[in-house]
């Protein structure tokens, strides 16, 4: 803090001896030492007060930021996207009212539905429910034979027999 060289301290000591005198010099040094101690104590207390204020200010800032974060989180949790969209699209509620009402309610009455009548099923055959494949092969009707064209007459190299 103060930069005093030995030569400067010696000059101050000589001036103090001449001005104060050798007889009152020890008492003056004690008074200066007590004053320096008092100043140091006051500076220490001031420093502690300043540190405490800084800590409290930082804590208050931290508390405030925590409260802001909590309120932001609560806002996010309670965000109603459906309500916000309804406000943006249908702010006066006319669209919702229109969709809730049936415009043809008084003029159109659909006919009552006809009672359900199940269709009649054909009678079940008297055949067994399972026919083994080997039996089914023989029991199935044969496919129709393909129609064949009449065969052309066979010519032979021998002359026809003469009838006598």
Confidence of residue 124 (pLDDT cuts 50, 70, 90): low
List, for residues 13-41, the tens digit of each pLDDT value: 888 888 888 888 889 889 989 999 999 99
- 53 is written with which tokens? 């204020």
Whether the Cβ atoms of residue 86 and residue 96 lie closer than 8 Å to each other: yes
CA distances for 140 relative to 37, 107, 130, angstroms: 127, 62, 14
Q: 125 pLDDT band (50/70/90 cuts)?
A: low
Tally the residues of the chain: 164
Q: Is pTM, for the whole model, over 0.85?
A: no
CA distances from 65 to 61, 71, 76, 151 (A): 6, 10, 16, 110
Stretch among 23-27, 130-134, 136-140 having the lowest mean pLDDT? 136-140
Instruction: Examine the pLDDT at 157 and tell me if it is beyond 90.
Output: no
Sign of CA dihedral 34, 40, 44, 49: positive
DSSP secondary structure letter of residue 56: H
């Amino acid at each position: 803090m103060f930069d005093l060289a030995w030569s400067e301290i010696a000059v101050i000591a000589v001036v103090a001896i001449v001005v104060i005198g050798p007889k009152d010099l020890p008492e003056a040094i004690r008074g200066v030492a007590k004053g320096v101690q008092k100043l140091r104590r006051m500076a220490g207390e001031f420093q502690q007060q300043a540190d405490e204020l800084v800590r409290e200010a930082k804590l208050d800032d931290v508390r405030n930021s925590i409260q802001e974060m909590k309120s932001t989180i609560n806002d996010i949790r309670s965000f109603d996207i459906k309500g916000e969209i309804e406000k943006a699209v249908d702010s006066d509620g006319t669209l919702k009212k229109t969709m809730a009402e049936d415009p043809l309610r008084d003029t159109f009455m659909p006919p009552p539905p006809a009672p359900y009548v199940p269709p009649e099923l054909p009678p079940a055959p008297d055949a067994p429910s399972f026919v083994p494949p080997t039996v089914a092969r023989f029991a199935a009707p044969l496919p129709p034979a393909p129609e064949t064209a009449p065969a052309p007459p066979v010519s032979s190299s021998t002359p026809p027999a003469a009838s006598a």
